[in-house]
Homo-oligomer: A and B are copies of this chain.
Amino acid sequence: MSHAQLAYRLLMGTKKISTEEKIKVAASKVFLKKGFSSARTRDIAEEADINIALLNYYFRSKQKLFDLVMYEKVQKLFGKISPIMRDNTTSLGKKIQLATTEYIDTLSETPGLAIFILNEVYKNNYDIVPNMKLARKATKSSLFKQVKEIRKDMDPFQLVVTLAGMIIFPFVAKPMLKLTANLSEKTFQKLMQERKVLIPIWMKAILKSKS
């Protein structure tokens, strides 16, 4: 048993970190960093401190393990926000504020999450459709109506895309931004926190803009 496992057992009682869980955590980390095609099962095995045979014993193949990780990441990204967007009792302004805060927190905590999902969907390693059915209904139902109520001349799609871009883009472009603007990790994180305040203000301004 490793030191980490021992410490964990002492803290959590008799509960043991299952090998299956160890592999999934390691896979999460490696896939997120390298993407499907650059990640090697050997990397994952090493990260999990086991061997490749064991990986195949539990998950049958690299692809199946990837599918599992991908599903969890999509849930992580859309799980919290979907019900908020569906809720008719939450105002549009409040939704914008909640989405901004929620996403910036999630993306700050998990570097690489956004570009990972976007890229894997782009490269067709993963068919995201089944997981997106809910999100699709959500935006169509409540949110779009709310936009139309405030601005019937405005395309809700364009507005939602703009909001998503404001929130997500800096995380996707993070390495480039850090290079071009010469930012430290700490400064970057501080700037992202600032955007929690800025984005709702700016969205309000957009909603009031004359077309």
Q: Mark A7-37, 1 if CB is under 8 A from B, else 0.
A: 0000000000000000000000000001101
Query: Which has the most chain B C-beta neighbours within 10 Å: A35, A169, A204?
Result: A169
Q: Is residue A208 within 8 Å, beta carbon to beta carbon, of the partner chain?
A: yes
| Residues of B with C-beta under 8 A to A119 | 35, 115, 119
Q: Mark A155-173, 1 if CB is under 8 A from B, else 0.
A: 1011001101110111011
Q: Is residue A211 within 8 Å, beta carbon to beta carbon, of the partner chain?
A: yes
Asked if A195 and B37 sit within 8 Å, CB to CB, the answer is no
- Point out the residue from B169, B179, B205, B209 that lies within 8 Å of A129, measured CB to CB: B179
Asked if B123 and A38 sit within 8 Å, CB to CB, the answer is yes
Query: Which has the most chain B C-beta neighbours within 10 Å: A35, A155, A161, A174?
Result: A161
- Point out the residue from B35, B128, B182 that lies within 8 Å of A123, measured CB to CB: B35
